[in-house]
Amino acid sequence: MNDVARRVGDRWELRFERRLRHPPAKVWRALTEPEHLSRWYPLTATELDLRVGGAIRFRDEEGTEVRAVITDLAEQSVFAFDEFDAETGTHHARFDLEPDGTGCLLIFRHRFADDEWAGQMHQGWLGCLDALGTALGELDPLGSMDVVAGKPVLRFRRRLAHAPEKVWRAVTDPAESAHWFPAAIETEPSIGAAMRFRFGEERHDLGGPFAEGEVLEYDPPKVYAFRWADSVLRFELVPDDSGCLLLFSHTLSGTGTTGDLPSVARQAPGWDACLDLLGARLDGRPAPAPEFLARAERYVEEFGLGRGEVRRSGEGYELRFERDLVQPPAEVWRTLAEGDEPRVDGPVPVVFAHGYAETGEVTAVEEGRVVEYAWLHDGVPAGRVRFELREQEPVGTRLVLTQTVPSRLAGLRATALAAWQTHLELFFAALHGDVRCPWPAERTERLRRDYTTELDLGTVHETGDGRCALRFERHVRHAPEKVWAAITEPEHLRSWFPAVVEFDLRPGARLRFGVTAEQVRRYGMDPGHVTEGEVLRADPPRLLEFTWGEETLRWELSPDGDGGCHVVFTNVVGDRDTLAPAGAGWHAGLEVMVAQLDGREVGWSPFDRAEQLASAYA
């Protein structure tokens, strides 16, 4: 989210940036189709002639007509128009869409002449853009997911133009469910009845847990629930004026490759396809064309199933990705190797790398299962990359990708995570026959920024006396002595520390924290306000601990053995309500501090940056 209000000549421009988890084609419909535009735009669109020079007619709440003319148009990319208002003059609105993985980046600009409306306009558009997000979710709805007691729960809603009794028969009669459910069912209509599931046109019985179940609820024509292996499926029908609302949930086991979180990438789009078949069956329509890839990519993006995680490991970190693939291991291996079979001491085949790091030689191979190789930094081995293909029940492959990163190269983690996520997104599409070129560098860069923010987020811990502590870790490529100066000397502190203070580094020394000029300007704080504190411990250049009012701040600096420094900063607060603003504030301040240590130009205010980060700490 990046919102700006500024003057451009004699006009005001409001600029809003939103990353949306919806493809450009879908957002385009919400921008240009009157029915969908009216659901979030501040005026009701009654007519829209989609061409440059075409007219748009709006109507306000009082029924007054407002006219507009389209000034720029590029399919699924640019939509701009001039809107004419009798009171406030001409307003220019422009929407730009840029593809971003399976979603897109929306940039919206609004220019107008009357600056008295700027604040009101800004707040109004914030609400409208929130409504746009809601409208997009309803335009082509995805299922939702909760995790309850460690178990993923998928929920789907379908409004059906049929009486509950008709839908009930389609859901519970095995002869009818065979047309849309992923298995043929044998059972009796009563609670406690055993169930048997068979698969494919030949009605194969796989045996074991995947073939067994039990009816748990049976209340015609309202509720039908049953156990299938170690998961629970529940159908609820709610009558409405035009038919009924179908509420379907699937509670997964939370364990194994049939019911853990990564398996949602397969389960969710699969149920979407089944429910689409059910709707077509009820309507008497032909079966819709399957859209597994597009749906799966949206669910992976929506639920964060493609994101990597970072784990502490020995003297560094392990980056880890786990992806659910529907193809068997042999097919996944062939797609990875592309005819260039990896061999120990040989070069790394192209599809096993992403180009953002130098590769060494292959160090281990288990044909069809495992490839491991060294990655290099400045020509020297720095860690390992490992691809592992595991069997997945009941079908497919579980791909596990890991990369080790030493502590001294912690700053490379965000780039590696972004590159691997992009790589696996492209590989996932290729497995479904969609080979995408060139490499989407903008997508990788946006992911890198996301991961950078995520990795830098502070964590919250409870202290022994019941208070809460915010903890931040940073790895910087500067010696502890240089970092010590940045956290203790006034000429460095004034650019990022949220108070005016001069340190007397003797334990027991009293400290006085005054407000900054920016705090006076922004928040109207009393320029004479002072908070007192005390130095508790000082061991230059390794440890500094002091109080600031009722809070305690602690800095720990440790050399990394390679000329850099590992920084741990802890802020113990007394009031839990201050955690969010304190977290955003310290995060922003540390960004400025590190940038200055690196010699990078700081063209932003830590106060503005803290406002941008507020939602991440809410």
Residue range 47-61: mean pLDDT, rounded: 94
Instruction: Kindly report which listed range (94-103, 204-213, 531-540) carries the lowest average pLDDT score.
Output: 204-213
Task: Tell me, rounded to whole angstroms, the distance of Cα 423 from its chain centroid.
Answer: 17
Q: Tell me what pLDDT residue 201 has.
A: 67
Q: Tell me what pLDDT residue 601 has.
A: 86
Kindly state the tokens that stand for 609. 């940056």
Mean pLDDT for all residues in the chain? 92
Long-range Cβ contacts of 188-193 (<8 Å, 24+ apart): 188/215, 189/215, 189/218, 189/220, 190/215, 190/218, 191/215, 191/216, 191/217, 191/218
User: Given a cut of 70, is residue 2 above it in pLDDT?
Assistant: no
- Domain-by-domain residue ranges, the chain? 4-139, 144-288, 309-439, 457-617
User: Given a cut of 70, is residue 460 above it in pLDDT?
Assistant: yes
Please state which CATH number belongs to domain 4-139: 3.30.530.20
Residue range 480-490: mean pLDDT, rounded: 96
Give yes or no on whether 4-139 and 144-288 have one common fold: yes
CA-based nearest residue to 236, from 161, 174, 158: 158
pLDDT digits (tens, 9 = 90+) for 402-412: 999 998 898 89
Q: 223 near 236, Cβ under 8 Å? A: yes
Q: Tell me what pLDDT residue 1 has.
A: 56
Q: Distance between CA atoms of 321 and 417, rounded to whole angstroms? A: 9
Strand order across the 103-112 sheet: 4-8, 11-20, 103-112, 89-100, 78-85, 65-74, 55-59, 44-48
User: Given a cut of 80, is residue 77 above it in pLDDT?
Assistant: yes
pLDDT digits (tens, 9 = 90+) for 417-456: 999 999 999 999 999 999 999 999 989 998 998 999 899 9
CA atoms within 13 A on the CB side of 64: 7
Q: Tell me what pLDDT residue 326 has.
A: 96
Domain 457-617 listed as CATH 3.30.530.20: yes
Q: Tell me what pLDDT residue 434 has.
A: 94
pLDDT digits (tens, 9 = 90+) for 171-224: 999 999 999 999 999 999 999 999 999 987 666 666 677 899 999 999 999 999
Task: Tell me, rounded to whole angstroms, the distance of Cα 450 from its chain centroid.
Answer: 8
For domain 309-439, the CATH class is alpha beta
CA-based nearest residue to 589, from 567, 605, 573: 605
Please state which CATH number belongs to domain 144-288: 3.30.530.20
